[in-house]
Amino acid sequence: MKILIIGSGGREHALAWKIKKSPAVKELYCAPGNGGIASIAHCVAIDPNDIEGLAAFAQEEKIGLTVVGPEVPLVAGIVDAFEEKGLTIFGPNRNAARLEGSKVFAKEFMQKFGIPTAPFKVFEDINEAMEFLAVAPVPLVIKADGLASGKGVIVCEKIQEARDAVQQIMGQKIFKEAGSRIVIEEYLFGEEASILAISDGRNYMILDSSQDHKRIFDDDLGPNTGGMGAYSPAPVITEEMLRKIGMQIMEPTIRGMHKQGAPFKGVLYAGLMITDDGPMVLEFNVRFGDPEAQAVLPRMKNDLVDVLQASCSGRLDKIKMEWDKRSCVCVVMSSGGYPGDYTIGKEIKGLDTVKESQIIVFHAGTKKEGSTIVTAGGRVLGVTSLGNDIEQAIARVYKAVEKIKFDRCFFRRDIGAKALKHLHPSPQTTMRR
């Protein structure tokens, strides 16, 4: 079968790497791909948002399965467009993708079906939002309703920051239409984790847990990024916690979407805060996480093509997921300056010196120029390692990271440190118990 992956990041390289292992694959295409994906798939220069162009390519090439990486085409209805043409595509349709495409939809949905999330209010009018802020306690979180390239969530410690955020989103319209409505919600305390499930609309399977590192600097300091590293499994998600997440979050979400006439097919990604009162949803995404996919997919023993096809055809009840018991850690190497301004076109050296079989170097913002690979984005590489335990995976991954060089390269040095804290609590923590 011919398979097409849509996207160009580390997530898509991880998907291509995993899909390529399936005996079902005859040809693998990626639109548009990147410098690393080019070595395992045919890269096709079509923009991920050019839905008509992608559907025409899939028809022409008789693509048997299309897998969508990023959220923008899903929210815009790529699944509807492909299915109208009789093409098989993995992911939610436009209606179901509202779980990520509209924060207001997601919050109201959670309220309706009793899914734990932070208390919130929705505003369409800037004056009403400002009036509410006059009496609202801080910290609080302001969220633009629509997609805003990961920049639409602002955590406010002080009320003036909240006023500025509302002014920018609703007054200056920095996110255009995506900010015509906002959610203001209570700040939740706890540790974050990512739980992904694959659903066929009725049945669902929860994938092994992972944890992202959203802030740019060590110890979770500095501005939010797309994600600076991830590991799987995440020890904060105990068996008991996973059971709660299944019962209180995944089950009612899949059932609720079905009941509303928008059955959810594809990856349902719950960004969670594990609070003293249990798991609470910060956000839903409707696709694999990036970099979570890089840490989770190397641990999946199943043939991913089987799983994706079962989601498309409503046969997920026939699949049993199997996981490698080892730990996996992914460290993102980024361009200095990211998530602010940065420069691209820097030669990446040392890639050929990383030869260990447990290491996979997933490419994100890279481009092939002749025989060299150069930087082409903010997040450049996701260096990933398996290890018998998380300590070994961390040690291995950082050894590999040290071998790769490019001008103004930046990476966090504490990916996985939170997992270690759970596994080896400090004496003070033990004493307090």
The residue from 53, 222, 271, 350 that contacts ligand AMP (CB under 6 A) is 271
In angstroms, the CA 179 to CA 185 distance is 15
- Show the binding pattern over residues 203-222: x = contacts ligand AMP (CB under 6 A), - = does not: -----------x--------
Question: Least separation, in Å, of the C-beta of 139 and ligand AMP?
Answer: 8
- Binding partner selected for residue 153 from ligand AMP, ligand GLY, none, CB under the kind-specific 5 to 8 Å limit: ligand AMP
Piece of 19-27, 185-193, 348-356, 388-396 that binds ligand AMP (CB under 6 A): 185-193
**Binding of ligand GLY by 289 (CB under 6 A):** yes
Say how many residues make up the chain.
Answer: 433
Q: Cβ of 42: how many Cβ atoms within 10 Å? A: 15
Round the CA-based radius of gyration of the chain to a whole number and report it.
21
- Binding partner selected for residue 290 from ligand GLY, ligand AMP, none, CB under the kind-specific 5 to 8 Å limit: ligand GLY
Question: Least separation, in Å, of the C-beta of 129 and ligand AMP?
Answer: 17
- Binding partner selected for residue 292 from ligand GLY, ligand AMP, none, CB under the kind-specific 5 to 8 Å limit: ligand GLY
What Å distances lie between residue 306 and 67, 316, 370, CA to CA?
Answer: 13, 9, 36
Which residues, numbered 219-258, are part of the site for ligand AMP (CB under 6 A)?
Answer: 224
- Show the binding pattern over residues 196-235: x = contacts ligand GLY (CB under 6 A), - = does not: ----------------x--------------x--------
In angstroms, the CA 216 to CA 219 distance is 9
Question: What are the residue ranges of helices labelled H in 140-231?
Answer: 159-166
Mention every residue, 6+ apart, whose C-beta is less than 8 A from residue 432: none
Distance of CA 235 to the CA centre of its chain: 19
The residue from 12, 185, 200, 208 that contacts ligand AMP (CB under 6 A) is 185
In angstroms, the CA 380 to CA 352 distance is 16
Piece of 44-52, 182-190, 228-236, 369-377 that binds ligand AMP (CB under 6 A): 182-190
In angstroms, the CA 26 to CA 29 distance is 10
* CB of 334 closer than 8 Å to CB of 364: no
176 three-class SS: helix
Which residues, numbered 293-352, are part of the site for ligand GLY (CB under 6 A)?
Answer: none
Piece of 12-20, 47-55, 183-191, 405-413 that binds ligand AMP (CB under 6 A): 183-191
CA-based nearest residue to 339, from 376, 379, 294: 379
Question: Least separation, in Å, of the C-beta of 109 and ligand GLY?
Answer: 19
**Binding of ligand AMP by 153 (CB under 6 A):** yes
Cβ-based nearer residue to ligand GLY, 200 or 290: 290
- Sign of dihedral through CA atoms 411, 324, 352, 348? negative
- Show the binding pattern over residues 247-286: x = contacts ligand GLY (CB under 6 A), - = does not: --------------------------------------x-
* CB of 394 closer than 8 Å to CB of 307: no
- Show the binding pattern over residues 129-148: x = contacts ligand AMP (CB under 6 A), - = does not: ------------x-------
The residue from 38, 65, 104, 118 that contacts ligand AMP (CB under 6 A) is 118
Single-letter code of the amino acid located at 102: S
Burial state string for 208-236 with b = 16 or more CB within 10 A and e = fewer than 16: bbbbbbbbbeeeeeeebbbbbbbbbbbbb
The residue from 257, 292, 366, 387 that contacts ligand GLY (CB under 6 A) is 292
* CB of 153 closer than 8 Å to CB of 187: no
**Binding of ligand GLY by 290 (CB under 6 A):** yes
**Binding of ligand AMP by 287 (CB under 6 A):** no
- Following DSSP, what letter does each residue of 351-364 receive, concatenated? GGG---TTEEEEES
Cβ-based nearer residue to ligand AMP, 71 or 185: 185
Give the residues lining the site for ligand GLY (CB under 6 A).
Answer: 212, 227, 285, 289-290, 292
